[in-house]
Structure 1
Amino acid sequence: MNKELENSFVTELENNQNIVHKVCRLYTNDQESHNDLFQEIAIQLWKAYPKFRREAKFTTWMYRVALNTAITQYRKTKRKVPTQDYQSVIYKIKADEYDGQEEQRIQLLYKAVKQLGDIDKALIFLYLEDKDYGEIASTLGISEVNARVKMNRIKNKLRTIINP
């Protein structure tokens, strides 16, 4: 791979690494797993980058690779006993900036989303990232109508999970 392509990839990954971190947060429960998944996604992105045709936005392509990698890894490690990293529970935020109720709502949402299936989890993630249905459909390889229908079903599932 030439140096120009390598520099282009590194720049794109650095500028959009928050996407990968968000996917990792959704599919992992502790910092070590998060780091492992981040590394695996970065490797898969690197391997696929020379074939990236720029027909879609880089971020759309990145979501697709990241989500597919996360789902594949999730299925491989499904049988592991779930653990939680102690450091992920401790927040180093100034007391005046911390909104406990907001944090509880976010944690409740993440807990509910983790109960969804792999594709549903990916779809709600993209929706929460303010992606339009066209981009969601393109990223997940489904029709826009299917994305809308699935989203309505997911919203109902989440309501049921959060408010039984």
Structure 2
Amino acid sequence: MKHSKELAFESLYKSHKDKIFRLCLGFVKDPELAHDLFQEILIKIWRHLESFRNQSDISTWIYRIAYNTAITFSAKEKNKPEQSDLPKGMDLAEPENHSQEKELQLQKLYEAINSLAETDRVIATLLLENTAYKTIAEVTGISENYVAVKVNRIKSSLTQMLNPHGK
């Protein structure tokens, strides 16, 4: 029989895994590294689940852990010497089944997002998940008004990157 912590974690995993994984892809380009980051985030959520005090929405708490872990992870990856043939972990989050054209568009979008500054990448990724500005503000530690300003700048930057000739 599962304990309440296991049941709570399982529920959180099922409801947040896709969003967390897409956040990981927003931080690292390599899908294998995204899986590693994803697993690291899940481990942190598991370890700290009992410390959640209901002072914010559980989604905000999860995104905050994911954001902080991703920043630390990507900093470590930048300083790490190149590694080859990393062992594959469990495939916890499978990509959604999209048409080839849609897959190419998503790939271009994520490549453009990956070229943004770290905070902008997080904002863009959370925006793709239809996350409220208030939650984005809590996760990133900036004001809700500044989130709105950054969203406009990010949209402009992404539009210019994806459509350089205004097509």
Greater mean alpha carbon deviation, residues 111-120 or residues 48-57: 48-57
Matched, 1:10 2:5: no
Structure 1 residues without counterparts, runs of 5 or longer: 86-91
Given that 1:24 and 1:70 are in contact with CA atoms closer than 8 Å, whether structure 2 keeps it comes out as yes
Counterpart amino acid of 1:136?
A: I
- Please give the residue correspondences for 1:55-70 in structure 2 after superposition, counting only pairs within 5 Å: 55-70=55-70
Residue 145 of structure 1, CA deviation: 0.4
Given that 1:19 and 1:63 are in contact with CA atoms closer than 8 Å, whether structure 2 keeps it comes out as no
1:136 corresponding residue in structure 2: 136
- Describe the superposition over 1:17-38 as per-residue Cα deviations: whole angstroms up to 9, x where unpaired: 2222212222233343122111
CA spacing shift, 1:98–1:134, aligned 2, 3 Å: closer
Matched, 1:120 2:117: no
Structure of greater relative contact order (alpha carbons < 8 Å, 6+ residues apart): 2
Residue 136 of structure 1, CA deviation: 1.3
Residue 16 of structure 1, CA deviation: 2.1
Point out 4+ residue stretches in structure 1 off by more than 6 angstroms. none
Structural RMSD (CA): 2.7
CA spacing shift, 1:112–1:38, aligned 2, 3 Å: same
- Describe the superposition over 1:56-107 as per-residue Cα deviations: whole angstroms up to 9, x where unpaired: 2212211111121112101111245598x9xxxxxx99xxx85333222211
Alignment: residue pair count: 153
Given that 1:41 and 1:66 are in contact with CA atoms closer than 8 Å, whether structure 2 keeps it comes out as yes
Given that 2:124 and 2:151 are in contact with CA atoms closer than 8 Å, whether structure 1 keeps it comes out as yes
Counterpart amino acid of 1:48?
A: H
1:146 corresponding residue in structure 2: 146
SS in 1 for 2:78: coil
Structure-2-length-normalised TM-score: 0.78
Residue 134 of structure 1, CA deviation: 1.4
Alpha-carbon distance in 1 for matches of 2:5, 2:98: 42
Counterpart amino acid of 1:59?
A: S
